[in-house]
Amino acid sequence: MSDYHSLLVNVIFLRALLDLDWRMARSVQGDRCPVCTGPLHWAPYPRVPRGVPAEVLDAFSRRWSLCCGAPDCRKRTTPPSVCFLGRRQYAGAAFVILSMLRHGVTKQRARQLHAEIPVDDRTLARWRQWWRRELPAMPFWRSVTGRFAQPIATKDLPVSLVSRFLGEAAKKMVAVLSLLSDLSTSSCRSRSGFAMAF
């Protein structure tokens, strides 16, 4: 479990997530507007992220997004992201890893993590509710669970999901964030297959 927690302060890992977001955004930018087929232009917007170290805070303060260049459309297209899960303030990796706290972490390590990334207990309780009740009720989740031979135990999410992937902690976390990247946008078709290639 400590391997996952170390990812929260691993600048190399976090920069790799930023690079993956950039590559997914560039891939989407190569397409046309899904509404009018006009060209897509860069239109990033600011974020105030939590759960990332100061070394990458500036880079995490921008969410890649695109805007149709046709004057009568201007529809925004926001690519999927492994850095952000929807509108959550905490970075995607922090959301997943800190949600794993109740599984196999010592009280001393939990205190250390709270010192590094302070998260209110009520916030963690809301996240647990999301993993246990809201996510399993989504059509997205039903389509995702169909990809696995064995059912994923919802009471043990996100650990039960992370454990389904092979490799070291960083590779597993990228796979989970890639899988969940479809939840980070509603304006563009899935690119999670692109992200899984990391």
152-178: pLDDT as tens digits: 999 999 999 999 999 999 999 999 999
What pLDDT shows up at residue 132?
Answer: 93
Average pLDDT of the chain, as a whole number? 87
d(CA 137, CA 121): 24
**Whole-number percent of the chain with pLDDT over 70:** 85
Report whether 80 contacts 127 (CB < 8 A).
Answer: no
Average pLDDT rounded to a whole number, residues 88-104:
86
Per-residue confidence band for 112, with pLDDT thresholds at 50, 70 and 90 = low
> Between the ranges 95-99, 174-178, 182-186, where is the mean pLDDT highest?
174-178
Per-residue confidence band for 187, with pLDDT thresholds at 50, 70 and 90 = low
Q: Please name the amino acid found at residue 131.
A: W
Per-residue confidence band for 107, with pLDDT thresholds at 50, 70 and 90 = low
Residue 78: phi and psi, rounded to 5, are -110, 115
The residues, any chain, with a CB within 8 Å of residue 156's CB and separated by 6 or more, are 103
Residue in the structure block whose two tokens are 């304006």:
187
